[in-house]
Structure 1
Amino acid sequence: MAAVTLKDVAERAGVSVKTVSNVVRNAPRVSEATRKRVLEAVHQLGYRPNPSARRLRTGHSGLIGLAVPDLATPYFAELAQHVRAEAAHLGLTVLIEETMGDATEELRLATGVGASLLDGVILSPLGVSPDELAAVANEFPLVLLGERSYERDQVGADHVLIDNVAAARDATAHLAGLGRTRIAAIGVDQQASATSRQRLEGFQLALHEAGVTYDPRLAPAIKEFDRRNGLLAMRALTALPARVRPDAVFCFSDLLAVGAQRALFEAGLTIPDDVAVASIDGSDEALYSTPSLTSVVPDKTAIASLAVKCLAARIRSAEPLPFEVHTAPHWLHARESTNGGRQQLFG
């Protein structure tokens, strides 16, 4: 049986081939009624898009990759949704990969190896070194997400990020502004990652500006940015002598903060009366926790939009483009974990 073509679908749906192409690519500006009619024809005829044929026609497959460390982390799961939505507006399809921070896997994806139909990749690197990325960045369209621990032109790839130092500073300044003077930090990881270093820098800067002395005893080392490590770190902090025990804590992720809240509950301490809690990520985890978490919210929509548009421009340009670093905005959303009381969601 001959393969079903766009023309076959167009004839069945009573529309142009261009309209069918727009629906298949999930391009905007197609009415819902037309989209529904085309999709019914696609289903009836059993049409399947052929990326190889598209690449032969246009030089591009319309497929891009998104590679993140851990899709179980709410921040990356939510970011992936935004990337897929932004890509759809540009007629692109996203293949999502989970690297678990493995340097070899990150490097493989950064070069397009093993995914020959991909036009380019948006990568949130964790394990691969800047030198390794620099050696391959010019070989394949690449946009990096997350913290940057190298000079602007060292890697040779576009980069989209938030100002982690400023974000941590804002959260810590909020806690200090409540009159808290024994402010702990949960998120100083044993790997000394760029995320941890930058958020610790912002934390210490805010303490200095508030006239609060940094106490290393209030910054226990952790292994991962997850709930369990937040729980264990907060248990260690609540076990300190009363004169040292924190009256506030800044957690370097929402998941760490959720674990810390559990430890405070176990210790019979109230939030925020005994210990105020602030974090960073702005995930739904923060919104629906009890109490709701004060969190620095990175603009994930802006991050996704900048990343996809940078990658699309690099894919479609016949000439080399200058590499750019884009900083997405963030804001502090104060909730029950520092403000006290009860706040109605969406009220």
Structure 2
Amino acid sequence: MRDVAQHAGVSPKTVSNVMNGYPFIREETRTRVLASIEALGYQMNISARNLKSGRTGIIGLAVPELSQPYFAELADAVITAAETHGLTVVIEQTNALRDRELTTLHRPRGHLVDGLLFSPLALGQEDIEHLRTATPMVLLGERMFHGPADHVMIDNVAGTRAVTEHLLALGRRRIAVLGIHPGERVGTAAIRYGAFASALTDAGLEPIDRLAMPADPWQRRTGAEAMEALIASGEKFDAVLALNDTLALGALRVLIQHGVRVPDDVAVAGFDDIDEASYSIPSLTTVNPGRRQIAATAVDILVGRMNGDDTEHREVVARYALHVRESTSGH
């Protein structure tokens, strides 16, 4: 830095201000310093700066499973949002196991990351005290805690109701649901199935238990297996609501293999709007949960906490959008 200062004819403090984006510097001075930096090939010692500031410039993202397209695409959106703040993202996978999620919360990490974005699946309301962490944290995902941490959430209820009402508006009355988790009370499957059942009840219909098919984990394979089981049961159905897109894609393949016309005979819809949904044949009707909004909002809130924001914790519900495609509309 001293070499750059001497080359540019300024003080080392001025070089530091230019490198750190200090706004109150004459443009002529900034240009001269940047030219000297390029001429000398200078690179800031990030480690030294972080030691001085007490910051690492790194945030953590803990998700259940990166092989799930939703979480992979969420990670991509978080990385993009973090870059606008000059931050790097380190990703951790919990496999939706309670012990691993608790370890993520309690592992000493203050010297590793400045903050944590955390998407838990296995923790419940009884674990709320575990959310009091020394490291700034923002929760992602389901509305289930209302606790001592900021939370950016998917609108599972409204999104699922919207896609259910779409199927009902098409005249479909025997709607199968793929991906239920029997006995689950607070997870994504329970929330989405509850919203589906509520939409049916409001329409004067009752959900048919025999058309509710378990699938765990939510993958193409389990969606295909659930659809094979449903077809083998002999139950009649005219629509399928898969509780996520990967289940729907597995089900689509099985329906087509059995000669079922989609959407003429059976309409199919999913949830998450993963990239593949636009390119499957037929393309998949699905709910976009606002993934990029979730990522950008969560990173903004986290950065605020890292910078000392101590206002009341926030709960933000992302905007969803229903994308109607060929699997229900036929065009």
Range of TM-score over shorter length: 0.7 to 0.9
- Corresponding residue of 1:62: 57
Following the alignment from structure 1 to structure 2, what is the Cα–Cα distance between the partners of residues 75 and 66?
14
* Identity rate, percent: 42
Of 251, 257, 273, which aligns to 1:266?
Answer: 257
Indicate how the Cα distance of structure 1 residues 333 and 21 shifts in structure 2: closer, same or farther if over 3 A, else same: same
The verdict on how the C-alpha distance between 1:130 and 1:13 changes in structure 2, with shifts beyond 3 A counting, is: farther
- Give, in angstroms, the shift of residue 180 of structure 1: 0.7
Give the distance between the partners of 2:298 and 2:36, measured in 1 at CA: 30
Q: Secondary structure at the match of 1:165?
A: helix
**Counterpart in 1 of 2:24?**
none
Q: Give structure 2 stretches of 5+ with no counterpart.
A: 22-30
Rate the CA distance shift 1:265–1:12 in 2: closer, same or farther, 3 A.
farther
Alignment partners' CA distance in 1, 2:8 and 2:67:
40
CA 1:205/1:8 → structure 2, altered by over 3 Å: closer, same or farther? Answer: farther
- Alpha-carbon contact 1:297-1:333 (below 8 Å) kept: yes
What TM-score, normalized by structure 1, do the two folds share? Answer: 0.82
* Conservation of the 8 A alpha-carbon contact between 1:9 and 1:20: no
Structure 1's 59 and 47: CA in aligned 2 closer, same or farther, altered over 3 A? closer
Alpha-carbon shift at residue 40 of structure 1 (Å): 7.0
| Residues in 2 aligned to 1:310 and 1:265: alpha-carbon distance in whole angstroms | 45
Q: Which runs of 5+ in 1 are unaligned?
A: 1-5, 23-32, 342-347
Alignment partners' CA distance in 2, 1:179 and 1:263: 23
Query: 1:278 pairs with 247, 269, 284, which one?
Result: 269
Q: Say which is worse superposed, 187-196 or 250-259, in terms of deviation.
A: 187-196
1:82 and 1:183, CA in 2 relative to 1: closer, same or farther beyond 3 A? same
Q: How does 1:178-217 map to 2 (within 5 A)?
A: 178-190=170-182, 192=184, 194-217=187-210
Counterpart secondary structure, 2:115: strand
| Counterpart residue identity of residue 64, structure 1 | I
- TM-score, with length taken from structure 2: 0.86
CA distance in 2, matches of 1:327, 1:222: 27
1:1-347 aligned at under 5 Å gives the runs 16-21=15-20, 49-50=46-47, 53-114=48-109, 116-150=111-145, 152=146, 155-190=147-182, 192=184, 194-241=187-234, 244-317=235-308, 320-341=310-331
- CA RMSD, 1 decimal: 2.8
Q: Does the C-alpha gap of structure 1 residues 115 and 268 become closer, same or farther in structure 2, counting only changes over 3 Å?
A: farther
Which of the pair has more CA radius of gyration? 2
**Partners of 2:124 and 2:144 within 8 A in 1:** no
Contact 1:137 1:156 in 2 (8 A): yes
